[in-house]
Amino acid sequence: MEELIDIYDSDRNRTGKTIPREGAFLQEGEYMLYVLAIVQDAQGRYLITQRSLDKHWAAGWWEVTGGGVLSGETSKQSVVREVREEVGLDVADQPLEPVYTYENVDLKGGDNYFVDIYHFHLDVSKDDVTLQDSEAIDCMFATWDEICALADEGKFLHFSRLRQALEAEGVL
């Protein structure tokens, strides 16, 4: 089934335009919306997943859970759905306010978007995680130093933005 996304303006208002996510090329002033979820366990470690090897971009790299906001969804609804789909955890009863938001503009690539980053503190273990086969092949709860080491190897997505989010929260 084709995933549709809403197009937002530079003020993050829906424009009323909906397009297929696959192959989307956004013009100046057009944005899509993504969410990322930092899931931290009771020991202070972060849940990270290893991308499936058949991904056309960054296959096998490590990341936090997240994805695109579908047409008709809010950022909050999307982060709950993405966490449930990708790692099988329920965050619906958690505070659902982004801790950090950023904007990306790539007019040449047509890749303009906003990203809302959420931070959840859950009393969970690896046994509680159920990976979505099409998204990830492995997961672990990693310390910040372990994530930094993966980033140093060039194998961790969104690292600088995650660091910025945690710094903005006063965590780092």
Other residues' Cβ atoms within 10 Å of the Cβ of residue 27:
9
Cβ–Cβ under 8 Å, residues 5 and 70 = yes
Cβ–Cβ under 8 Å, residues 117 and 98 = yes
Going by DSSP bridges, is the β-strand pair 46-51/136-142 parallel, antiparallel, or unpaired? antiparallel
Look at residue 1 and tell me whether its pLDDT is greater than 80: no
Q: How far apart are CA 153 and CA 74, in angstroms?
A: 34
Q: How far apart are CA 15 and CA 9, in angstroms?
A: 6
Instruction: Return the CATH number at 45.
Output: 3.90.79.10
Q: Residue 126: pLDDT band by 50, 70, 90 thresholds?
A: very high
Total domain count for the chain? 1
pLDDT in tens, 32-46: 999 999 999 999 999
Average pLDDT over residues 126-134: 96
- The parent domain of residue 97 ranges over 4-169
> What 8-state DSSP symbol labels residue 126?
G
> Does the predicted model carry a pTM greater than 0.85?
yes
Q: Residue 56: pLDDT band by 50, 70, 90 thresholds?
A: confident
